[in-house]
Amino acid sequence: MLKRTTNYLFQTFGSVFYDMKSAIQYESTVSNSLYLSNKEFDSYYYSNAPVYIACEKGIVLLVVSKDGVQYDEFVIHRVIRLQPGIYFNFVSISNDSKVQIAYAPSGLNQKKMKEPFIYQRMVSKINLKEILTCFYQVRKSNYVFPGESHDYYELTYIDHGKLDMTLDGKEYHLNKYDLIIYYPGQFHTQSTDDESTCSYLTIMFDMETKMDISLMNRVFKTRKDIYNVLSAFMKAIQSKDYLSEEMALAYLKEVLILLYQFDTKTDEESNVNPMQEHYENTLLNEILVFIHNNIFTAFTVEDLCQKFSISRSSLQSLFRTNIHITPKHYISNLKLNQAKLLIQEHKYTISEISDMLGFTSIHYFSRKFKLQYGLSPTDYAKSINQ
């Protein structure tokens, strides 16, 4: 899943705001509109001052890097302010798009990349053409199927019992929950011994693209996630509801994808609830955007809990799990970092900066600042002038 710039991971590169006016604040900038249709690029932009970006049309992927080598990707959402020195460029995910970009009057610099960035479009790599037939079969002991080969794929899943088979002359012994796929042109036989019975699912299907040989001649011990999808497939294939056959095709495709991913997943990973994980990430992103956009407002952790309808313990857990810091410390660090930037501008007194950032008193602000940076705000201001 693509990340948006409201994702908390984007904070490594910049901040997110609700509008361009609140993002730019005090800096003098030049603003331009860029029209995009490219799916690749071979150079980065960068500036020694903050850069402000907003998507005005279409869907735009922002590619960012700290060193010009390792990069990360974010879909532009809301208005962003990139930190000075961040390398960046864009590709248009939609057919065409438009971004507004504002930067210092000194302009933008460019750096050539060693290797071009090429956007990997999300298009289907497994084109499942047709389900030819599907059977649930029950075989008694001493069953013998002499064998056949055909021009399509055949999936066999053992629901109960044991099934002996040969595939291109090699013997296989399948037990309950085992699954195998016969490829086009592979000769296969099936049988049960004098003590075993077997019931199994057979799905014959055709593909527009050839399946990778990594799944060929291999017995898979079905995990819970694959079992659940096969169960949903059986329900859909027997249903007479509108587009239920489409559902069956989608479930079979999902089974094939899970088989491709079989060696990279464990049972524990297959039981993770991705919806809950996505909900927590989205909630954290929205909370962080609110904090950044209200940095000049006095608010408490309790105010966050009330605004986002979350308990204090859940909020603490959300922050500690994902960004390894408490909400209170995160807010404090953000405000102190902003105070440092404001002191560098020499536009405001220490007292004014304390008030602007919502600290309860200048003494409290000075104490927190010194604890964070080793200097009082006044001493820090003096050190800049030296």
Same domain, 291 and 262: no
Count CA within 13 A, CB hemisphere, residue 182: 27
Region 250-262 average pLDDT: 95
- 236: CB partners within 8 A, 6+ apart: 244, 245, 247, 248, 251
Domain range for 190: 128-269
Q: Which has more pLDDT, 218 or 266? A: 218
Same domain, 151 and 230: yes
Same domain, 263 and 132: yes
Same domain, 238 and 137: yes
Q: Out of 95, 118, 141, pick the residue that ends a domain.
A: 118
Same domain, 139 and 243: yes
Same domain, 110 and 170: no
Same domain, 88 and 177: no
Classify residue 2: in a domain, yes or no.
Answer: no
Q: Total structural domains in the chain?
A: 3
> Which domain CATH number covers 102?
2.60.120.10
Same domain, 94 and 182: no
Same domain, 294 and 227: no
Rg (CA), the chain: 30
Classify residue 123: in a domain, yes or no.
Answer: no
Q: What is the pLDDT of residues 261-271, one digit of tens each?
A: 998 866 555 45
Same domain, 153 and 184: yes
Classify residue 3: in a domain, yes or no.
Answer: no
This prediction has a pTM of 0.63
Q: Which has more pLDDT, 195 or 54? A: 54
> Which domain CATH number covers 133?
2.60.120.280
Gap between the Cα atoms of 229 and 226, Å rounded: 5
Q: Out of 217, 249, 269, pick the residue that ends a domain.
A: 269
Q: Out of 243, 269, 295, pick the residue that ends a domain.
A: 269
pLDDT on residue 272: 46
Contact between 149 and 185 under an 8 Å Cβ cutoff? The reply is: yes
Contact between 169 and 125 under an 8 Å Cβ cutoff? The reply is: no
Same domain, 231 and 290: no
Coil/strand/helix, residue 225: helix
Q: What is the pLDDT of residues 274-293, one digit of tens each?
A: 556 666 777 888 898 889 88
Same domain, 153 and 243: yes
Region 313-320 average pLDDT: 90
Percentage of the chain exceeding pLDDT 70: 95
> Which domain CATH number covers 290?
1.10.10.60
Cα 31–chain centre separation? 31
Classify residue 341: in a domain, yes or no.
Answer: yes
Classify residue 1: in a domain, yes or no.
Answer: no
Classify residue 164: in a domain, yes or no.
Answer: yes
